[in-house]
Amino acid sequence: MSTLRLILGDQLSDSISSLDGCDSSRDIILMCEVWNEATYVKHHKKKIAFLFSAMRHFAEELMRQNYKLEYTKIDDEENAGSFQGEIERILKKHDIKRLVVTYPGEYRVLQDMLQWQLAFGLPVEIRADDRFLCSLEDFEAWSKGRKQLRMEYFYREMRRKYDILMQQSEPVGGQWNYDTENRKPPKTRLKVPPPFMGQIDSITQEVMHAVAERFNNHFGDLEPFYFAVTREDALKVLNLFIKERLASFGDYQDAMIEGEPWMYHSHISFYLNCGLLLPLECARAAEAAYLSGKAPLNAVEGFIRQIIGWREYVRGIYWLKMPDYAQKNFFEVTRPLPEFFWTSKTQMNCLHQCISETIQHAYAHHIQRLMVLGNFALLAGIDPKYVNEWFLIVYADAYEWVELPNVSGMVLFADGGYLASKPYAAGGSYINKMSDYCKHCSYKVSKKNGPDACPFNYLYWDFLDRNREKLRSNHRISIMYKTFDRMNDEKKNAIRDDSLRFLNCIE
Ligand code: FAD
Ligand code: DLZ
Ligand code: SF4
């Protein structure tokens, strides 16, 4: 009698808790590429290829370490198409006494797992995912009694707990957060280093073939494919970032340049979220770069905050608030997603650039997601369920635990302010300041109204006007209402008319 240990596609870490205590001479490890996971939303082709290839490489590594492995490929004839179906097949083939899994990244998968014990008539042990730095119990304890959760306070606790960038009990440099230094607009001739370009080996080649055949109607470009698919290569991505990009990460964290999708970001979210990299090793690598004088504090602190702060914080909120969080719609909006989110065909150059890059790379950096794509969805009043589905589909780092709080909480304010203290709404001048997109746009960012005015300009005021009842008590927004109220009626009507015309048009 042996134990069956299921490893999911985003659990590709040697240290995954489902392997703890594994008897490699008897226990069976199951990994399976299943139709249900690849299609419950129609993931970007590159995301599926990346994950299947990373899974196959990880499986090879486990076999090299003499584990007994059952691996089902997407095109295996007997593939049952779901985790449950695949487990049933293994139970028929082997003498299994219990099933061990690690806590999944999505609520829907947890619900599935919770009924396996009954379905299979076996003990099922669901172990904590200790690759995260804050356990779900610790997050819940931290959140107790707080009406609003603020990332900054959570982050400080994580700095103390892991003794990162600390001098005894004080933050290195005397400040916890150097964000005010991290908002430099792009310079015209920045020399952004090239990103990591992984080689396509025979495993990736075979996966790409299967994806092209089976998922051809999914969003996005499959080729060129250059992601790392092994831990060894993912470590190279991390090291390249530390060496070539980290020093400028802070300065240009919010900057956007046409034709430069990768900027000075790390591009490690794909690998962190599927387990090829671990959060603490990334944070420690950045800390070491600061301590050896290779990168300035504003860059290093900013990067570490994203990983030990934001990443852990959104996961905590997800598990604390699910399943209700997925239904949140504070502004009660119902507009469908405009077609151009799938095609990139729009005259608005900022959206065109960010969507085209998403189609090509299954990647956009944070400010593109937040201040261009997300900001537009917020101002246009697009229903959170469509916006969430889009973000879950299009990015290779997207799993619901991280995607949903970012979209519903940070971008759409759909939770009414539980995660963010105010909506991140902005007009065209923000995008113009932080990018060069407006230079090549059909609309004029300097114009506030009329057919050739930048739509962000009037949509911004129309959004505030439409949602006055819901936002008036938010003191961080009240100054904007004072400005709106000082406008004359002609101006206010122009804002409403332009917005109505534009929004009718995108439908
Ligand atoms: P860097 O800018 O180099 O940051 C380093 C790391 O910090 C990232 O790899 C990531 O692990 C972490 N990080 C940074 N910001 C966040 C954040 N807000 N939440 C969680 N982790 C963070 N991130 C995802 O991993 N998956 C998603 O599906 C996802 N969806 C998003 C949707 C929206 C609307 C927004 C505004 C943000 C979203 N993010 C998501 C957060 C962030 O945009 C990405 O983590 C980041 O762009 C990944 O690129 P990078 O690795 O180059 O990040
Ligand atoms: C995202 C994804 C995809 C596309 N395919 C698979 C798969 O075939 N097999 C698998 O084990 N995992 C896959 N995943 C990742 C899962 O969706 C992920 O493990 C769950 O969403 C829980 O986080
Ligand atoms: Fe975007 Fe407006 Fe600038 Fe055009 S003018 S790129 S729509 S912000």
Q: Are residues 16 and 111 in the same domain?
A: yes
pLDDT band at 16 (very low <50, low <70, confident <90, very high): very high
In a domain, 494, yes or no: yes
Which residue is closest in CA terms to ligand 2's atom 6? 37
| CA 51 – ligand 2 centroid, Å | 8
Residue 433's pLDDT is what?
Answer: 96
User: Is beta strand 96-102 parallel, antiparallel or unpaired with respect to 2-6?
Assistant: parallel
| CA 486 – ligand 1 centroid, Å | 38
Q: Compute the average pLDDT of residues 314-336.
A: 98
Burial class (CB within 10 angstroms; exposed 0-12, middle 13-18, buried 19+) of 81:
middle
For the stretch 267-291, pLDDT in tens is 999 999 999 999 999 999 999 999 9
The residue whose CB lies within 8 Å of the most ligand 2 atoms, and thus the one to mutate among 51, 101, 102, 113, is 51
DSSP single-letter state for residue 185: P
Residue 459's pLDDT is what?
Answer: 98
CATH number of 453's domain: 1.10.579.10
For the stretch 358-408, pLDDT in tens is 999 999 999 999 999 999 999 999 999 999 999 999 999 999 999 999 999
| Domain termination residue (choose one: 102, 127, 152) | 127
Closest ligand 2 atom, CA of 74? 8
Q: Are residues 278 and 178 in the same domain?
A: yes
In a domain, 351, yes or no: yes
Ligand nearest to the CA of 46: 2
Q: What is the pTM of this model?
A: 0.98
Query: Is 69 a residue whose pLDDT tops 80?
Result: yes
| CA 233 – ligand 2 centroid, Å | 21
Long-range Cβ contacts of 364-369 (<8 Å, 24+ apart): 364/261, 364/395, 365/256, 365/261, 365/262, 365/263, 365/265, 366/253, 366/265, 366/306, 367/253, 367/254, 367/255, 367/256, 367/434, 368/256, 369/395, 369/406, 369/411
Rg of the chain in Å (alpha carbons): 24
Q: Are residues 82 and 189 in the same domain?
A: no
Which residue is closest in CA terms to ligand 3's atom 7? 348
Residue 289's pLDDT is what?
Answer: 98
Task: Answer yes or no: are the C-beta atoms of 250 and 175 closer than 8 Å.
Answer: no
Q: Are residues 19 and 159 in the same domain?
A: no
Which residue is closest in CA terms to ligand 3's atom 1? 350
Closest ligand 2 atom, CA of 34? 8
| CA 441 – ligand 3 centroid, Å | 6
Query: Is 186 a residue whose pLDDT tops 90?
Result: no
- Pocket of ligand 1, beta carbon within 6 A: 265-269, 272-273, 303, 306-307, 310-311, 314, 365-366, 369-370, 374, 391, 395, 397-398, 402-403, 406-407, 410-411
User: CA dist 15 to 11, 70, 106, Å?
Assistant: 9, 19, 20
Burial class (CB within 10 angstroms; exposed 0-12, middle 13-18, buried 19+) of 294:
middle
- Pocket of ligand 3, beta carbon within 6 A: 348-350, 428, 431-432, 437-438, 441, 443, 445, 454-456
Q: Are residues 140 and 97 in the same domain?
A: no
User: CA dist 413 to 89, 250, 375, 450, 472, Å?
Assistant: 44, 26, 11, 28, 14
Total number of domains constituting the chain: 3
Q: Are residues 171 and 24 in the same domain?
A: no
Ligand nearest to the CA of 109: 2
Q: Compute the average pLDDT of residues 415-420.
A: 93
In a domain, 201, yes or no: no
Task: Answer yes or no: are the C-beta atoms of 416 and 323 closer than 8 Å.
Answer: no
For the chain, first and last CA: distance in Å?
59
Amino acid making up residue 417: G
Q: Which residue has the higher pLDDT, 130 or 183?
A: 130
In a domain, 6, yes or no: yes
Ligand nearest to the CA of 75: 2
In a domain, 227, yes or no: no
The residue whose CB lies within 8 Å of the most ligand 1 atoms, and thus the one to mutate among 51, 269, 308, 354, is 269
| Domain termination residue (choose one: 271, 290, 321) | 321
Q: Are residues 297 and 382 in the same domain?
A: no
Determine the Cα–Cα distance for residues 455 and 495; give it in Å rounded to an integer. 10
Find the domain containing 43 and state its range: 2-127
SS3 at position 22: coil
| Domain termination residue (choose one: 321, 351, 368) | 321
- The region of weakest confidence among 60-64, 99-103, 183-187, 482-486 is 183-187
CATH number of 55's domain: 3.40.50.620
Ligand nearest to the CA of 365: 1
| CA 502 – ligand 3 centroid, Å | 14
User: Is beta strand 2-6 parallel, antiparallel or unpaired with respect to 28-32?
Assistant: parallel
SS3 at position 271: helix
Q: Are residues 189 and 317 in the same domain?
A: yes
Q: Are residues 264 and 372 in the same domain?
A: no
In a domain, 215, yes or no: no
In a domain, 294, yes or no: yes
pLDDT band at 499 (very low <50, low <70, confident <90, very high): very high
Average pLDDT, the chain: 97
Q: Are residues 34 and 88 in the same domain?
A: yes
Residue 507's pLDDT is what?
Answer: 77
Closest ligand 2 atom, CA of 105? 23
Q: Are residues 375 and 397 in the same domain?
A: yes
In a domain, 208, yes or no: no
CATH number of 277's domain: 1.25.40.80
Give the distance between the most distant pair of CA atoms in the chain: 79
Query: Is 18 a residue whose pLDDT tops 90?
Result: yes
| CA 197 – ligand 3 centroid, Å | 31
Query: Is 17 a residue whose pLDDT tops 80?
Result: yes
Query: Is 190 a residue whose pLDDT tops 90?
Result: no
SS3 at position 498: helix
Closest ligand 1 atom, CA of 399? 28
Q: Are residues 354 and 467 in the same domain?
A: yes
The residue whose CB lies within 8 Å of the most ligand 2 atoms, and thus the one to mutate among 8, 43, 114, is 8
